Amino acid sequence: MTAQPPVIARVPSVGDDGLYRIPVDQDHVVEPPVWGDRPRSRNWLAILDEDPQSPNGVRRVFCTRGRARFCFSVVRILPRDLIEFGADYLSAGGHRYRDRWYAIVVEVRPHELVVRHFTDLPSLLATAYRERMAERALGGA
């Protein structure tokens, strides 16, 4: 019998438009894309912002944890926010397991977050920067 991985990765549903849908109930994520289910696991949802003074140049504003099946509050999340779901687990033997899931929020709906997924932090930040520059060139805010 093989051991279960310490971090569970769930693939959110993908619409015809290629965007991911993350289920929300009562303003809380109920099925995060990554989740560590062990007692020593740390799980979070954070809103990201570029900040040269922060570690890796990114400031994280952590969303409030919920109780029971309500994982993370989404009340502070807005369209165009950069978000990170994270799950860390440190085994008894000192081995560290890490999993991250990055996205740009496209729409916040009553029962789901509609997001564009990115495989890593640099590609998320590069895309967000390009979109901001394109918007400024067109005369946006």
Query: Per-residue confidence at 8, pLDDT binned at 50, 70, 90?
Result: low
- Mean pLDDT value of segment 112-139: 92
- Mean pLDDT value of segment 41-60: 92
Q: Which helix (H) or strand (E) holds 134?
A: helix 121-137
* Average pLDDT for the chain: 88
Q: What confidence score (pLDDT) does residue 3 get? A: 53
Determine if the pTM surpasses 0.75.
yes
Q: Please indicate whether residue 137 or residue 1 has the higher confidence score (pLDDT).
A: 137
Single out the residue of 74, 78, 72, 83 nearest to residue 107, CA to CA: 78
Q: Please indicate whether residue 18 or residue 120 has the higher confidence score (pLDDT).
A: 120
The residue whose two tokens read 């310490």 is 6
How far, CA to CA in Å, does 96 sit from each of 82, 91, 121?
25, 6, 19
Q: What confidence score (pLDDT) does residue 112 get? A: 94
Name, in order, each residue with C-beta under 8 angstroms of 119's C-beta and a sequence gap of 6 or more.
Answer: 102
- Mean pLDDT value of segment 53-76: 90
Q: What percent of the chain has pLDDT over 70?
A: 91
Query: Per-residue confidence at 2, pLDDT binned at 50, 70, 90?
Result: very low
